[in-house]
Amino acid sequence: MSAQLNPADEFTDALKPVDIGGHHLEFHLGPVDMSINKVVLYLFIGAALTALICIGISKAARVLPNRKQTAFEGLYEYVRDVLVGAVMPGGAAAAWFPYIASLFLFILISNIIGLVPLPFNLAPGFHNIPEFKTYAATANINVTIALAGITFVATHASGMRANGIVGYFKGWMPSTAPPVLKQVLFFLHGISEVFRLVSLSVRLFANLAAGHLVLLVFYAMILMIQSYAIAVLILPLEAGVLMVSAFEIFVALIQAYIFAILSAVYIGGAIHQEH
């Protein structure tokens, strides 16, 4: 706890290798920094929690479902029929459903974890009381680029497999366009494909990072006003934190949904090209 809390520092701090049980988890693989930092830990937590929840529910699944199972099956069937089934042809939908569903659940749970304050660092000089902080793996551009990269590769790989390499790239040029325009359109389509990767990754990262920044700014303002006398005055700030937090739950859900459905739309579009 310090009056010098800088919201932006929270993001750079997250990239520093963490110490667990006295071990400084800093690794290097050639020139690549493979240290376990806060982002990696959050990734692991998100993945583990997603796996635990899903496996737990499906292990407990019975032919006659209880309430929890009905709710989870509702989500499952929603992803299968609406997110994937509606934008992909039948066979492709079955093949790509696990990917889209995993993407949706992983991003959703990572986003939600980002709203729960977790103790990772011990507060410096404060009687070894853990310092609870919020962070989201999906608020890091590297994570979202990697996830968007999978969709990017999946899109073009499945497009080429379904239409053939030549057929797939021919599909980038509308067959009705004049020959002169075809090259231009091909070039433009190539750019749009790259920007899909950028927009997909930046959208998720920026939304999550912005939400956390806003929350951190509120926290920082609460900490900066270190006076009991104006405790009453900081009530609106606390209300602000509450409101932004509530809004962030909505953002967490909507961003996971957008990322998943856009992935499905891109892959579906590449398989079933419009000429």
Partner 1 sequence: MLTIQPGLMIYTLITFGVLLYVLKRYAFGPLQKIIDERRNAIETSIKAAEETRHEADRLLSEYRQSITDAKNEAEEILDRARKVGDDQKAEIVGEAKAHAHKEVESAREQIQRETRKAVQEIKDQVADLTILAAGKVAGKVITKEDHLRLVDEAMAEVDFDQLGAGGK
Among 149, 167, 190, 236, binds partner 1 (CB under 8 A): 149
Q: Is residue 35 within 8 Å of residue 27, measured between CB atoms?
A: yes
Nearest Cα neighbor of 143 from 86, 194, 202 is 202
Binding footprint of partner 1, residue count (CB under 8 A): 52
d(CA 117, CA 74) in angstroms, rounded, equals 29
Task: For residue 101, state whether it binds partner 1 (rule: CB under 8 A).
Answer: yes
Question: What pairing do the DSSP bridges indicate for beta strands 23-24 and 19-20?
Answer: antiparallel
Among 143, 215, 252, 264, binds partner 1 (CB under 8 A): 143
**Segment holding 121, helix H or strand E:** strand 118-122
**Segment holding 13, helix H or strand E:** helix 9-13
> How does DSSP classify residue 174?
-
Interacting residues with partner 1 between 71 and 100 (CB under 8 A): 72-73, 76-77, 97-99
Task: Considering the complex, state which of residue 15 and residue 223 has its C-beta at the smaller distance from partner 1.
Answer: 15
Q: Where are the beta strands (DSSP E) in 151-264?
A: none
Task: For residue 67, state whether it binds partner 1 (rule: CB under 8 A).
Answer: no
Beta carbon of residue 108, minimum distance to partner 1 (angstroms, whole number)? 13
Chain mean position to CA 135: 12
Task: Considering the complex, state which of residue 173 and residue 251 has its C-beta at the smaller distance from partner 1.
Answer: 251
Nearest Cα neighbor of 49 from 133, 130, 107, 134 is 107
Integer-rounded Cα Rg, in Å, for the chain is 23
Q: Please tell me the number of Cα atoms within 13 Å of 190 on its side-chain side.
A: 8
Among 2, 6, 66, 142, binds partner 1 (CB under 8 A): 142
Task: Determine the residue type at 35.
Answer: S
Which residues are bridge partners to 32 per DSSP?
A: 29
Beta carbon of residue 130, minimum distance to partner 1 (angstroms, whole number)? 24
Interacting residues with partner 1 between 7 and 66 (CB under 8 A): 8, 11-12, 15, 29, 32-35, 37, 39-40, 43-44, 46-47, 50-51, 54-55, 57-59, 61-65
Binding mask 188-217 for partner 1 (x = CB under 8 A): ---------------------x--------
Beta carbon of residue 48, minimum distance to partner 1 (angstroms, whole number)? 9
Nearest Cα neighbor of 40 from 135, 132, 117, 134 is 135
Among 83, 88, 93, 106, binds partner 1 (CB under 8 A): 106
Beta carbon of residue 255, minimum distance to partner 1 (angstroms, whole number)? 16
> Residue numbers of the site for partner 1 (CB under 8 A)?
8, 11-12, 15, 29, 32-35, 37, 39-40, 43-44, 46-47, 50-51, 54-55, 57-59, 61-65, 72-73, 76-77, 97-99, 101-103, 105-106, 137, 139-143, 145-147, 149-150, 209
